[in-house]
Structure 1
């Protein structure tokens, strides 16, 4: 046992000794590896120090000299020398290649001597900017390139800027003038390369209370140069950040990764380049500003912004080149490496720079010109654009460049606001004219509605003075401030059209209008734009119209974009629209915001750009009113006499064959003789007695079908004589057109003395149409009712009893001899039994109570249809199945209800009778 224990102990001790040996080897190797790594790291650090200081000057650097005292570092200078010699040995033609490279990458003012270009206005349109911009030259010893020792080889030095890189400049003591000359040289080269307006410069100097770069003073009076408050760097950074967000949204929506990519793909420059020059003082910026600066720099190049930082210590995101000054003439640059000294170009002559800046400023002012006219918005050829993807048209100008409005999937609906006199109507005309000139009626359909008391859109439909019309218009509604039902009808029409398009898209297995038009090229699918001016009137009451309009508008706003249906809602002030409190869906979908001067609550709450907007301008914003989306535009005068009509007539002639739009003018009652519903009547088994024009998108009329069903009589209710006469006149005359001569007999009675001439005129008209028509004396009505009641069982012709003011005849009708029925009893028989026998009563009662007296205790079933005039809604409930009737009487309108066709009453417009004007 003891022996076995000793053996086990020996094996354990041997294993431990072996472990200690292995651990010793590992630790020794680790110490050696660490020492080697530390030596290599020290060599690399020394190499960096020597490269940064310059190999030739490294021995003068105290830090380098101290490290070279270490014997292990002795081989570093030798190795760097071999690398340099090998590089220059392979670079025998390097200087000449660099000269060729700079000449190719920095053409014209970007690389040529100042005498070749200074003072000349640039002409480069700006699609592909130069890749490099000259700052100076550098010289190397020719012996390093295989030349005779002492031979100097010089090559140009240039740095990238626009679209390529930012630039960081670090000064040395007493070199501020040199830095200014360097920056001035770069900026003047850029400005002299491009056509005026292609580049905008922003200057900020933390320590400068007067103008930076005073030779550029002439440019500061134009948009080419902006000098920013030295105490408000945050404003400049916010402006850049907003610009970057806007450009990013526009390029991403267009399918491009950057502004440069979009510019190269489309072949046009939509935005100027921006160069931000920030002068610091060598001290760190506050943390918040430094964070914002880095955030801007990271995305600036893709948005066309390049930064030039002077003595602003920070590490920027994105591509950055550096220039560090040694003295007033020399610097090192990241483009050449720290071992090569750059001899900076001498300053440009001050007087020549000032003269050149003045010439560029004058050229920019001349290019921008004075205020543009409406004609400048129009294309050279009309109707050439396609609307499958979107609608795009300029509406104004900023600094001579057009400012566009885009209506499509990304910005489906627009909200326009501006107080009275701010130019809102003029803007609408500019927008409509620019759109219609670019898109044909097959590409764009307009539905125009103006709720205010005016005729802003009336001229777009044919009139007495001008027979032309805007061929894109399908509907023009004016003076509808009291006809909210017409706005509701338009929304219903748009909702129906949206469902029709959605069904077609589903049939073709597509999701939007562009795809539908591609799959169904023979279909007619224009983009629809509905303009509703003063749209807040549509929601003026707390009633069913407001409730339905709100629901429809929200639905169209949400789903209309994919079907090519767009809303443009305009208002003087949207602050009081209670219908949308707590329902922001509509406004959220109105991502396109247009604010006229002094407009409130159109842009985002913190965006006050409209407050400072000058007259005849508008703030165009495609980003839901957020400040970074602001584009200020001068709107040409499109509403001056003859301006828009001239374009309209050209379009009318260009697109001949388009049907004229439906014109609805709430200030004028329709004429019966010109109503399609009346002129289109012919012989019918179930004649229709027209009551008035419907308030609808289509030009239709409402009427009562006089069949043999019970209750097929018509009652006109109220004291408004003119409208009552009109309704009875249109009902009788429309019936006369639907019968052959001899098939109908009209019996007209008028107990109201003042209306008697109108009753006689109707009788003469009916007789003149070949029908039997008789005007009863008021005193004969009772006897005639008795006769008609007795003849009901043997009626051979249809009969219409037309009575003006039935209630006026009630005293005579109520008289009766003992044991006999009264005339009123016979009238009740006619009302109850007449329709089944071909006899119908068309009567006017001047009050609900008087109608009830006429009907007696039999209820209201014998009056199947009625038209109410100046009668309050609560009085009409018994005639409308007990439902609550929302009706406030208004001139020229009637509330119509037919129990066989209506679920609720609707407003109609009685036809106008010219001969009734003297009433």
Structure 2
């Protein structure tokens, strides 16, 4: 036991000794490190001291003398001498290197003497501008670098454009020097690039005009714009709007900035902009300072450089400074405070003015005068893809094309302009530019014109020109009285939006671009619906307005993601009561196009349209806010043989695409040209009697099915002879196409003598097609009804009784012999029981009251469908399940209701009878 205790104590003692040894080593290392740190600190302090007094003065300086016995001083002095010698050896070639640097980074006018470029037009149109721009030179005394009795001069240049902003601070009585400095920089920039590639904005808090007067000639072009000194906010808003527009454009294209986009694509898509702001040394208003800093932070990425003169502020981002010492010298942040820069002398005023005039003339010449419509078109048709957006130039501003962009960020457009302002011409320019760039597989057009005209009629095949615009799916003209057709278009677009939305859900995507990627075999073109004079849709306070408003709001909100875009055009939108308090549609119309003198299209404070010259338009992608304005000259696209020439080329290139449907509200449709009529054929047990053209996007017709079921009779109501004949004529002809010869019988009872010729002509036509057809006079009608009532129980075919003005023989039908049913009784029996036996009545009554007299009490159910002509809606309630009918008669239109298929009556268009042309 004792032995174990001794061993344990020995182990503890050994461990403590080892610990003390390690602690001793650590403390020794710490002391050494501390001593080394103190020596290093002392050395650094000596270095700092020697540098502060100067290496040449160190030998005599009393502070340095205090450390004369310090061993570290000798090593410090030796090291600094070596550094100085090395620096002098390197700096001996420094000025030459700087000259070479400026020569390479500031080529041509950016760095060369004015005599070599002043007055000559620039030729540079690349994507990366010079990095530096010369402002003067600096001289270094050779004695300070070991070269006594020599001076070394080097060029001084500052970055601008994509590289940096510039802040200039003046001294008293140096305004002329500042102007010369700014003028030198701007003239170098303007003389480097092709005319029009740079735009300069000038603002001076102290001057209304006379800012850099040598540039006056350029102020009549977009190259130089002088801004109101009291409206700095306007300039900052304009720059901010430009930054937002460029940012959205570059991000959508997949680039972080405009310079990056230029370098990647090799194209200059926007001019460079320089904004020169002259202050007075006083702080800007807080709101202006805030806006200026916001602009400065994003300006370089949008191709904007700021030159601030005596504007005290600290800008974010890259900023270089020039601080004047007197009227000829300055120091810069590029060279440091110890190097004084001798600024270049002012450019000769006369030569600057002459160069500005020549540049202005070149810009005007470059515009080439008014461009033609064909300048809007690409060299090759149909090469663009609409998956992400639609983009097309519609006009020109100083030779540069101005584009309209329709996509997710600007989904819908609002176009306004009074009569004669060029609105229709703009629409043609837009349609031409779009259709030339995108194939019919990429773009589908639905065109509707509510005013009394044929703006879009030429886009459909006509008698003189068989070509059509292959992108157009629907063309509606003269529909000012057919508001229902506008509603039908909105319903169609709403249905298409739901179809696309369902497909997007199936493929688990959120927009049309992603759907096209996931479903490459699907057909998903972008749809553009143009509705000219769209305010007619909301002309009355009725159900059409209510439904159109709801559909339009839904399409405006959700259509963008499904590639459905609206272009709404109007002469004046001030009186659209349907949208009062419902701004959803206008808020979604972020693309605004204002023709000269247009009202309420742009933002309320934006008066650009008031001053716009004729044949121009203000294009604004920022919901009409002033900073988004782009003025464009719109070439003449509606001149004779202009758009038709393009249309014929497109028609020939896309010959496989079908013709559009043309709906002309001023022309009655023809039964023989109706799609519904052409598809009728024998072999059906539910024959369909067509009564008129339906007002729909598709080419459909209204009709009543006539199976062997109760109530399957048709009543035509009203006194309009022409339209009544048309409805019955279409019904008889369409029924005749659905039966083999000899299997249908047509009995035409004419109670109105003035209709006998038309009835005889119809009977002959039916007979020519092999059907039994007989004309029954008014006197023979009572006997006809009695005969039909007696033999319909054993009828083995189909019999159609066509009655013309049957109410004219009501007195004769009401005559009743004792113990025998009257002719009216037989007619009522025929209406009630006939359809079940294959006998149907299609009759014309010249008044609703007369039909009621014919049917008697509770007889309305025997009329399964009716067509109302010149009858007020209030009279039709008994035949429409008691619902209120909103209908006022209008020429060439009727109201159709089939209680078996319709929830409410629908407007129909009676077909044109060819025989009517000969009457």
CA distance in 1, matches of 2:291, 2:797: 91
Partner of 1:701: 701
1:71, CA displacement in angstroms? 11
Partner of 2:99: 99
CA distance in 2, matches of 1:799, 1:275: 86
Partner of 2:280: 281
Tell me, yes or no, if structure 1 residue 221 matches structure 2 residue 220: yes
SS across alignment from 2:403: strand
Partner of 2:124: 124
Partner of 2:737: 737
1:112, CA displacement in angstroms? 1.4
CA distance in 1, matches of 2:629, 2:65: 66
Partner of 2:440: 441
Whether the 8 Å contact between 1:866 and 1:898 is mirrored in structure 2 is yes
Partner of 1:492: 491
Partner of 1:822: 822
Matches within 5 A, 1:845-860: 845-860=845-860
Partner of 2:14: none
Whether the 8 Å contact between 2:162 and 2:304 is mirrored in structure 1 is yes
Structure 2 CA distance for partners of 1:506 and 1:73, relative to 1, 3 Å: farther
Whether the 8 Å contact between 1:253 and 1:410 is mirrored in structure 2 is no
Matches within 5 A, 1:248-647: 248-647=247-646
CA distance in 1, matches of 2:709, 2:871: 27
1:438, CA displacement in angstroms? 0.4
Whether the 8 Å contact between 2:799 and 2:839 is mirrored in structure 1 is yes
1:457, CA displacement in angstroms? 0.5
Structure 2 CA distance for partners of 1:697 and 1:288, relative to 1, 3 Å: closer
1:559, CA displacement in angstroms? 1.6
Which digits, 9 at most, give the CA deviation of each residue in 1:609-637, with x for residues without a partner? 22222211111111112222111111111
1:285, CA displacement in angstroms? 3.7
1:162, CA displacement in angstroms? 0.5
Unpaired runs of 5+ residues, structure 1, are 1-32, 59-66
CA distance in 2, matches of 1:203, 1:82: 52
Matches within 5 A, 1:764-783: 764-783=764-783
Partner of 1:150: 149
1:88, CA displacement in angstroms? 4.1
CA distance in 1, matches of 2:529, 2:377: 21
Moved over 6 A (4+): 67-75, 78-86
SS across alignment from 1:99: helix
CA distance in 2, matches of 1:212, 1:730: 78
Unpaired runs of 5+ residues, structure 2, are 1-37
SS across alignment from 2:528: strand
Whether the 8 Å contact between 2:126 and 2:266 is mirrored in structure 1 is no
- Superposed CA RMSD in Å reads 2.9
SS across alignment from 2:671: coil
Whether the 8 Å contact between 1:89 and 1:144 is mirrored in structure 2 is no
Partner of 1:785: 785
Structure 2 CA distance for partners of 1:591 and 1:710, relative to 1, 3 Å: same
Further displaced range: 212-221 or 185-194:
212-221
Which digits, 9 at most, give the CA deviation of each residue in 1:115-167, with x for residues without a partner? 22222100111410111001112222345555x32232222111001111121
Partner of 1:61: none
Tell me, yes or no, if structure 1 residue 808 matches structure 2 residue 808: yes
Partner of 1:909: 909
> How many residues are treated as equivalent by the alignment?
869
Structure 2 CA distance for partners of 1:395 and 1:679, relative to 1, 3 Å: same
CA distance in 1, matches of 2:594, 2:442: 27
Tell me, yes or no, if structure 1 residue 720 matches structure 2 residue 714: no
Further displaced range: 313-322 or 248-257:
248-257
Further displaced range: 543-552 or 522-531:
543-552
Tell me, yes or no, if structure 1 residue 135 matches structure 2 residue 135: yes
Partner of 1:21: none
Partner of 2:893: 893
CA distance in 1, matches of 2:285, 2:80: 41
Further displaced range: 79-88 or 323-332:
79-88
1:73, CA displacement in angstroms? 14
Which digits, 9 at most, give the CA deviation of each residue in 1:713-753, with x for residues without a partner? 11000111111000001101111111111111111111111
SS across alignment from 1:385: coil
Structure 2 CA distance for partners of 1:719 and 1:572, relative to 1, 3 Å: same
CA distance in 2, matches of 1:225, 1:83: 51
CA distance in 2, matches of 1:235, 1:518: 43
Whether the 8 Å contact between 2:894 and 2:909 is mirrored in structure 1 is yes
Structure 2 CA distance for partners of 1:829 and 1:642, relative to 1, 3 Å: same
Whether the 8 Å contact between 1:164 and 1:301 is mirrored in structure 2 is yes
Whether the 8 Å contact between 2:238 and 2:626 is mirrored in structure 1 is no
1:526, CA displacement in angstroms? 0.9
Which digits, 9 at most, give the CA deviation of each residue in 1:297-318, with x for residues without a partner? 2332222221222233333332
CA distance in 1, matches of 2:414, 2:823: 63
CA distance in 2, matches of 1:81, 1:495: 85
Whether the 8 Å contact between 2:209 and 2:226 is mirrored in structure 1 is no
Q: So what's the TM-score if we normalise by structure 2?
A: 0.90
Further displaced range: 842-851 or 85-94:
85-94
CA distance in 2, matches of 1:228, 1:856: 83
